[in-house]
Amino acid sequence: MMHLWAACRRSREVTAVPVRIATAYDAPTVAELLDAFNREFDTPAPGVAILTERLRELLAGQAMFAVLVEEPAVAVALVSLRPNAWYDGPAALLDELYVAPDRRGHGIGGELLEAAESEVRRRGGELLEINVDGQDVDARRFYVRHGYTDTDPGQSEPCLSTSRSSPARAPRTEPPTEV
């Protein structure tokens, strides 16, 4: 994975598409979009029912938010917030950014990213981090085009991210659903 970061930039405050912050009541919609994203890229996921259950709780709290575009929603950004010793406010991680395939290429992803950045700033955050698979050239190009970089300020080598699932518990999954 490539670690991209950017200090949250100032928003244009102009939105060409209807964008809104999801509530806990939107958990099923967010879950459906996230599940579609994982199915599109053959990535294991716990399934819509389990995601909905988790998102109802998480979206009701302060540590996570989602941004939805259009009604019915055709795109989602999911962002986690955490305390960070280096900033006064929380550091944010863009967990996912997904635009339905038939809606890509129309600026929705950029509007979604900008809305997520704006909400991070509204919540006092100064940093938005994004993990991108190294081979996902299109996603990397998208984020670079929007001001993100894979190097920390004053550094010349790219940031790297590593991860490991907890060996104590395997992720819960459910069988894929028919579309």
Domain extents in the chain = 2-22+64-145
pLDDT at 178 exceeding the cut of 90: no
| Overall pTM surpassing 0.95 (yes/no) | no
- The torsion angles phi and psi of 152, rounded to 5 degrees, stand at -75, 155
State how far the Cα of 166 lies from the Cα of 172, in Å rounded to an integer. Answer: 13
8 A C-beta contact, residue 79 and residue 93 = yes
pLDDT at 9 exceeding the cut of 70: no
Per-residue pLDDT of 38-81, as tens digits, reads 999 999 999 999 999 999 999 999 999 999 999 999 999 999 99
pLDDT at 169 exceeding the cut of 70: no
Question: Given this model, what pLDDT does residue 160 score?
Answer: 73
Per-residue pLDDT of 102-113, as tens digits, reads 999 999 999 999
Residue 103: both structure tokens together: 């809606």
- Of 127 and 23, the one with more pLDDT: 23
* The CATH classification of domain 2-22+64-145, taken from the options 3.30.1330.20, 3.40.50.800, 3.40.630.30, 3.30.70.20: 3.40.630.30
For residue 132, give Cα distances in angstroms to 25, 113, 166.
29, 14, 21
Tokens 């984020």: give the residue.
143
